[in-house]
């Protein structure tokens, strides 16, 4: 029996996708081989690759003047690739809302003059800080749209004017509707809401590809855009799995449909936390994430007892991030509503000592 997997990433994948992949593992579409074995230059793989790109463009309503890149190296590699590619005046602004935006800021500081425009660090990243100023001469303005560790999210995105807005959407992409045209660049590791680990998606406005910087060719976005993300061997199986996940998402009513489901799931869990005498949510109510819900009993030993008891009952990966401890339930697109309800039922029993 499959567990309810609340991992923050690599995260749960839709069961239907896993079952289809299992059927196609040994031989794909009568081609006599697995997708894992295909040449990335073959017509069969090229069709998979392009279908995944087309599906992502459709589901996110990505305008024609944006390129979709399928890269490797995770979101962490983008912390360096972004300043290397977008550097123009040698300056960038950052909103620090958690560990990952802090790392993006630190990495960019090695390449250009990075400025903290706002931060919620003094309140343990429990909320999204107010942005009072945006540098007019900044090469880009960086945010993390959803914070996996502390469970906060931007409900509204800043208007950065002519300064390109750059967003790490690793844990929020495809969970709710975003207006892509507000951003200069969006990037995301696939392993939370797109597909399995191994793929990184970059969505970049075409004019930003023209910024000329002397960097290694492999790290230039334009090189990848010009070769349709085939500059070298792409993570072919991860892209195939992403295609299946995107097809599944489309069958669920697309992003609009899954957003309604995500809002309903989150409400079930947050309503319980708001009324519980034992468990308490951590993030400010005004900035709560739909995807990552950190909480705690307030007692480290009891938190550990809960994680152990939950795992025995089939609810796994509920421990908080190693940097902050506590508890956390990641309820990405693939987590069914019944999984969240079952978790709440278990938490009620645990609280009552049953």
Of the residues 67, 87, 93, 168, only one is catalytic, namely 168
Q: Is residue 31 annotated as a catalytic residue, yes or no? A: no
Question: One of 100, 243, 248, 265 is an active-site residue; which one?
Answer: 100
Q: Measured between alpha carbons, how far is 167 from 49 in angstroms, rounded to an integer?
A: 24
Tokens 């990966």 belong to 317
Contacts of 335-343 spanning 24+ positions with Cβ under 8 A: 335/4, 335/5, 335/6, 335/12, 335/265, 337/261, 337/264, 337/265, 337/268, 339/4, 340/265, 340/268, 340/269, 341/268, 342/4, 342/315, 343/4, 343/6, 343/269, 343/310, 343/315
- Does the active-site annotation cover 106? no
Q: Could you confirm whether 192 is annotated as catalytic?
A: yes
Q: What's the 3-state SS for 171-221?
A: CCCCCCCCCHHHCCEEEEECCCCCCCCCCEEEEEEHHHHHCCCCCCHHHCH
Q: Which of 67, 87, 91, 192 is catalytic?
A: 192
Cβ atoms of 109 and 80 within 8 Å: the answer is no
Kindly list the catalytic residues: 100, 168, 192
């Amino acid at each position: 029996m499959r567990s309810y997997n609340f991992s923050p990433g690599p995260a749960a994948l839709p069961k239907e996708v896993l079952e289809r992949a299992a059927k196609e593992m040994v031989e794909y579409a009568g081609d006599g081989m697995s997708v894992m074995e295909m040449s990335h230059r073959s017509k069969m793989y090229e069709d998979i690759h392009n279908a995944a790109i087309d599906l992502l463009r459709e589901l996110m309503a990505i305008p024609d003047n944006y390129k979709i890149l399928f890269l490797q190296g995770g979101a962490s590699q983008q912390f360096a690739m972004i300043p290397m590619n977008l550097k123009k005046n040698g300056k960038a602004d950052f909103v620090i809302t958690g560990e990952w935006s802090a790392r993006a800021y630190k990495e960019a500081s090695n390449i250009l003059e990075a400025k903290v425009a706002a931060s919620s660090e003094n309140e343990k990243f429990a909320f999204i800080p107010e942005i009072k100023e945006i540098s007019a001469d900044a090469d880009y303005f960086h945010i993390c749209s959803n914070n996996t560790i502390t469970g906060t999210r931007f409900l509204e995105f800043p208007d950065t004017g002519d300064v390109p807005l750059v967003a790490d959407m690793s844990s929020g992409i495809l969970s709710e509707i975003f207006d892509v045209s507000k951003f200069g660049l969006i990037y995301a590791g696939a392993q939370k809401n797109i597909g399995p680990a191994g793929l990184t998606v970059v969505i970049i406005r075409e004019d930003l590809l023209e910024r000329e910087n002397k960097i290694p060719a492999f790290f230039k976005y334009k090189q990848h855009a010009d070769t349709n993300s085939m500059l070298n061997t792409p993570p072919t199986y991860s892209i195939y799995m992403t295609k299946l996940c995107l097809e599944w998402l489309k069958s669920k009513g697309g992003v609009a449909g899954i957003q309604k489901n995500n809002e309903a799931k989150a409400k079930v869990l947050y309503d319980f936390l708001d009324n519980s005498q034992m468990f308490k949510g951590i993030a400010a109510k005004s900035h709560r994430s739909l995807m990552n819900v950190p909480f705690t009993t307030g007692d480290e030993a009891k938190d550990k007892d809960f994680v152990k008891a939950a795992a025995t009952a089939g609810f796994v990966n509920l421990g908080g991030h190693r940097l902050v401890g506590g508890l956390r339930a990641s309820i990405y697109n693939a987590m069914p509503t019944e999984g969240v309800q079952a978790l709440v039922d278990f938490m009620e029993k645990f609280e009552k000592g049953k």
